[in-house]
Amino acid sequence: MQSRGCAPVSGQSQCEALRWPRDEKPRRSFRCPGFRHRSGLLSRARAVGRDRDEKRHLPPRQGSLLQELLLLGQTSSQDEVSQVLSVELRDWSRNPKQATVLLSGLSRERLPHLAAQVLTSMVEGRVDVNVFHCSAAISACEKGGQWRQALNLLSSMPEMRISPNEISYNAAISACEKGGQWQQALSLLSSMPAMRVVRSEVSYSAAISACEKGGQWQQALNLLSSLPASKVSPNEITYNAAISACEKGGQWQPALHLFFSMPDVRVVANEISYNAAISACEKGGRWQQAICLLSIMPAMKVISSSISYNSAISACEKGRQWQQALCLLCSMSTVKVIPNRISYSAAISACEKGGQWQQALNLLSSMPEMRIVPNEISYNAAISACEKGGQWQQAVSLLSSMPTMNVIANEISYSAAISACEKGGQWQQALYLLGSMPALKVLPDKISYNAAISACEKGGRWQVAVGILSRMQDLSAMADVISYNSAIAACSQKGGPWQLALSLLASMPDAWVAPNEISYNSAIVACERSRKLDLGLELAQECKDRGVDRGSPSFFPWAIASLEVSDPDVIQLALLEATAQLGKSRHSPEELSTLAWAFATLGVSDPRFSDALVSQAMPQLREFKVAELLLLAGAAAADGGQQDVFLCTIQEEVAARLGEFHVQHCTEVAREKFVQGALGVIWACSFAGLLSEKFLVAARRAMKQTGIALDAAHATSRTRPCRLGAQMPEAVQTDDDNPSIVLDLADRSVIFKPPHWEVSDDHTELQLLSYVRAVLGEGLPILSDTRHRHGFLHRLDVPNSGLVLAAKTYEAYYDLRVQLSAGDIMRDYVVLCHGLVPPRLAEITARLSWRSENNKNCYSYRKVLVVLVVGKQGKASRTHFKVIAHAVSWQSRSASWLGVGLFF
């Protein structure tokens, strides 16, 4: 085996620390920690000799000499040990082997303190101490975990004119290995030739094991490769230690190389070899290799154990292969391997990583049936699975059930439950859990606080978020960059205090917290939403100048696009820099998709930039998330046909993923992101006129599958009769201009919305949702689902009237979403507008952006008004219209009556 480039260990320099401190008369200074810092042994022996006549009356002996010493225990004094041994010392002078037997017994009992005291008594009693006695005492230190005492004994042997042998050194090296002292172990190994002690495979195995425990896999490989030069044949212990060293260092490839090279040196792999190799694959996330190793064990006549299976299940967990993990867990019984708590906890974690919260709960609930008591690790994994799946109620329920199972919840349990509440938008529940931790003697950590701040941010409670951040500082909880970022993001919400957001950003260095790109992003968003665009641009430039963006090619373009910068010089400079960076190095899908969105939003179309971006995106298209593919598709669709080939490739990629999509394997959050991204790509391809039938068929199939699964989960009835005779709300009865159902089918309806009615946002008294509930009944689950817009497919402004599509089932909802995205449904309106529109004009293509402004003169129910801005920047849109008539008033004011069809 080739050397791994490790520097040789210098025995001389390392051993300086091991030399025994000498007094004026070196041969009279045998000392070690177990000797309670007495002076030289020979002087002590004279003192004992003078006192021996006074200690003739010994206590009655019961049992063997070893038992008598064991009765003294760890707190024995030297005088007590000497008194017990006073008679035997004479016999030991004639038969030293008896002392070796006693010292070996103390070694087996892991009593280095007593072994050292026995050795001291022997020296004081003028018994010749030999190498076997010292080796047995060193072995006692090794088994008792006293590496310093072992080194002291070894270093004192030359002072007693005793030459250490291989056993002495091996025991001392093993003591260093168990104490995690790999440097000392290597120093001892390297010093053996100078002491004329032959190094054996045991010596090397112990030293390699020391490197393994110290995380020094390179040193372990270096030692293994040096064995042939030392004329030492490696054995399975040597290889197992080296493989374990690679495993501890996360080096799965060298570990497998060692494992498969064992037959070349005629070393047979055993269970430990396989377990170490499987564990190395687990650490490296190589689940396929781990399963392969496990599967070949029976053919190699090696019996697999729970350790083998647990490592393989953990490998599947790290590889997000929850199905494989469950298969392995189920197969354990067939090979007569009993699963344990670790097996189940690893499988639950695999389900958590795979977003399978139901499976995780099933495993947790089945543990008592298998006579396995869940622990906090099992519960924490299950709570995290519920958090990932957006099931905050289940997470809180699990947390509350832990005491009934005699499992003590820790800060990880609470942090996972608080994070679940954060993702579920339950900021009050998150705060309740955080507040209950001290009473249960659970100390909140940074993760707990950060999750609570993030929950308040998502709940729009910036005051509470900032309060928690202040509380962290008061409690010395050491707020980190995540804490500040969440608080800044909370202040960056619409209507939030932008000044406070900037103040928090500025205060981070004083708290020894370095702002990162996310910190600046949130502060820039605060400036954008408060229309402080110049301040936002200053922050973006500051972030860039300070190198906080870490050379990100997308940060500055994102910032100027978000801030609606229109300065052509600023935009052109950003474009040139981004194009140059794309040419220098490879960038991540997140960077590339953000770049595409930014320059598309800015209305920039540049062939060199597009070519550079496409050349990087195409080879790694499979690595893009669907949401990132949506940004690429939107930018390509808005480029006026310059990127048609790229857009078609994106379409094929999303179509392939739609074919692989299984709604039952997705968390609610993952499903929503996937569906929204796919629908967005459909819109982009339709807008560009490139929507393929293959893509559309795949999308319809996946959306149908999603709708059916949601209907089953919510127990939606397939047919619902329209209750046209139902009692309508009082507000409806007193108004002459009422809504009505124009078309009613089994799973969908078309509803007429009159002026002054709002669809479902609860800003006015007249709500179309209330009418629909009154007419169709409260039994339709989708009508109560805010995530699915209560079944409404689109909106109409309050002053306007028109037709609104509404779904009664989730299947119908997603079917209509596909039709709208594909342009199969057009929304036609009649509009009276100022000015004379030329009759020949039939289409307007423009970019639209939305801007939040304080409402002063418009609808009183809105504090913040969303204004639609038409210009050169924003999202691409297309409007088809036809001039129906013109009108000119007596005051020379002109107007046009238009029939409008919208596609956006």
Fill in the amino acid letter for 615: S
54, pLDDT greater than 60: no
Can you say whether the dihedral through the CA atoms of 449, 451, 452, 453 is positive or negative? positive
Q: How far apart are CA 541 and CA 49, in angstroms?
A: 86
Predicted local confidence at residue 75, as pLDDT:
72
**For residues 256 and 289, is the Cβ–Cβ distance under 8 A?**
yes
What would the pLDDT profile of 212-257 be if each residue is shown by its tens digit? 888 888 888 888 888 888 888 888 898 999 999 999 888 999 999 9
Question: Predicted confidence band at 868 (pLDDT cuts at 50, 70, 90)?
Answer: low
Can you say whether the dihedral through the CA atoms of 745, 746, 750, 751 is positive or negative? positive
What would the pLDDT profile of 292-326 be if each residue is shown by its tens digit? 999 999 989 999 999 999 999 999 999 889 999 99
Mean pLDDT of 343-368: 92
Q: Which residue has the tokens 């996972």?
A: 416
Q: How far apart are CA 438 and CA 475, in angstroms?
A: 12
Q: How far apart are CA 494 and CA 853, in angstroms?
A: 9
**What DSSP string describes 124-181?**
HTTPPP-HHHHHHHHHHHHHTT-HHHHHHHHHHTGGGT----HHHHHHHHHHHHHTT-
733 and 783 belong to one structural domain:
yes
342, pLDDT greater than 80: yes
**For residues 129 and 122, is the Cβ–Cβ distance under 8 A?**
yes
What would the pLDDT profile of 799-816 be if each residue is shown by its tens digit? 888 899 999 999 999 999
841 and 799 belong to one structural domain:
no
Helices (H), 638-667: 644-660
Q: Which two tokens stand for residue 809?
A: 């089932």
Which among 292, 288, 337 has a CA at the least distance from the CA of 315? 288
Could you tell me which residues are beta bridge partners of residue 900? 829, 881
Q: Residue 86: helix, strand or coil by DSSP?
A: coil
Q: How far apart are CA 469 and CA 476, in angstroms?
A: 11
870 and 802 belong to one structural domain:
no
What would the pLDDT profile of 441-455 be if each residue is shown by its tens digit? 898 889 999 999 999
Q: Which two tokens stand for residue 278?
A: 């499987």
Could you tell me which residues are beta bridge partners of residue 606? none
- With respect to residue 156, please indicate whether it lies within any of the assigned structural domains: no
The β-bridge relationship of strands 827-834 and 748-753 is unpaired
170, pLDDT greater than 70: yes
Predicted local confidence at residue 362, as pLDDT:
93
839 and 800 belong to one structural domain:
no
802 and 835 belong to one structural domain:
no
Question: For residue 716, is it left (φ>0), alpha (ψ between -120 and 50) or beta?
Answer: beta
790 and 868 belong to one structural domain:
no
Predicted local confidence at residue 20, as pLDDT:
30
Of residues 624 and 716, more confidence is placed in 624
- With respect to residue 851, please indicate whether it lies within any of the assigned structural domains: yes
At which of 808, 839, 855 does a domain end?
Answer: 808
| CB neighbours of residue 302 within 10 Å | 19
Q: What is the dihedral of CA 180, 181, 183, 189, to 10 degrees?
A: -100
- With respect to residue 740, please indicate whether it lies within any of the assigned structural domains: yes
- With respect to residue 668, please indicate whether it lies within any of the assigned structural domains: no
Predicted local confidence at residue 714, as pLDDT:
85
721 and 804 belong to one structural domain:
yes
665, pLDDT greater than 80: no
Total tally of structural domains belonging to the chain: 2
**For residues 850 and 869, is the Cβ–Cβ distance under 8 A?**
yes
**Phi, psi at 891, each rounded to 5°:** -95, 20
Which of 20-29, 105-114, 654-663, 861-870 is most confident? Answer: 654-663
Report the percent of the chain where pLDDT is more than 70. 87
789 and 721 belong to one structural domain:
yes
Which among 158, 163, 161, 109 has a CA at the least distance from the CA of 137? 109
Which of 427-431, 713-717, 775-779 is most confident? Answer: 427-431
657, pLDDT greater than 80: yes
21, pLDDT greater than 50: no
Which H or E run includes 806? strand 802-807
- With respect to residue 211, please indicate whether it lies within any of the assigned structural domains: no
Mean pLDDT of 762-772: 88
Q: What angle do CA 627, 427, 536 make, to 5 degrees?
A: 55
Who's near 758: CB < 8 A, 6+ residues apart? Answer: 764, 766, 767, 768, 798
Which of 109-113, 114-118, 642-646, 707-711 is most confident? Answer: 707-711
Predicted local confidence at residue 114, as pLDDT:
80
Could you list the residue range(s) of the whole structural domain that residue 730 is in? 717-808
725, pLDDT greater than 50: no
724, pLDDT greater than 70: no
Q: Which two tokens stand for residue 280?
A: 């190395």
37, pLDDT greater than 60: no
775 and 726 belong to one structural domain:
yes
Q: Which residue has the tokens 């919510």?
A: 714
Which H or E run includes 340? none
- With respect to residue 513, please indicate whether it lies within any of the assigned structural domains: no
> Which pTM does this prediction carry?
0.73
What would the pLDDT profile of 518-558 be if each residue is shown by its tens digit? 999 999 999 999 989 999 999 999 999 999 988 899 999 99
Q: How far apart are CA 630 and CA 611, in angstroms?
A: 18
Among 51-65, 174-188, 329-343, 365-379, where is mean pLDDT lowest?
Answer: 51-65
| CB neighbours of residue 249 within 10 Å | 21
Q: How far apart are CA 672 and CA 718, in angstroms?
A: 23
The per-residue pLDDT of the chain, averaged, comes to 83
- With respect to residue 881, please indicate whether it lies within any of the assigned structural domains: yes
748 and 802 belong to one structural domain:
yes
Mean pLDDT of 345-364: 92
Which among 695, 696, 685 has a CA at the least distance from the CA of 634? 685
What would the pLDDT profile of 365-396 be if each residue is shown by its tens digit? 999 988 999 999 999 999 999 998 888 999 99
Question: Predicted confidence band at 866 (pLDDT cuts at 50, 70, 90)?
Answer: low
Of residues 61 and 184, more confidence is placed in 184
Q: Which residue has the tokens 């003590």?
A: 408
**For residues 639 and 607, is the Cβ–Cβ distance under 8 A?**
no
787 and 869 belong to one structural domain:
no
- With respect to residue 116, please indicate whether it lies within any of the assigned structural domains: no
Which among 621, 627, 637 has a CA at the least distance from the CA of 675? 627
Who's near 400: CB < 8 A, 6+ residues apart? Answer: none
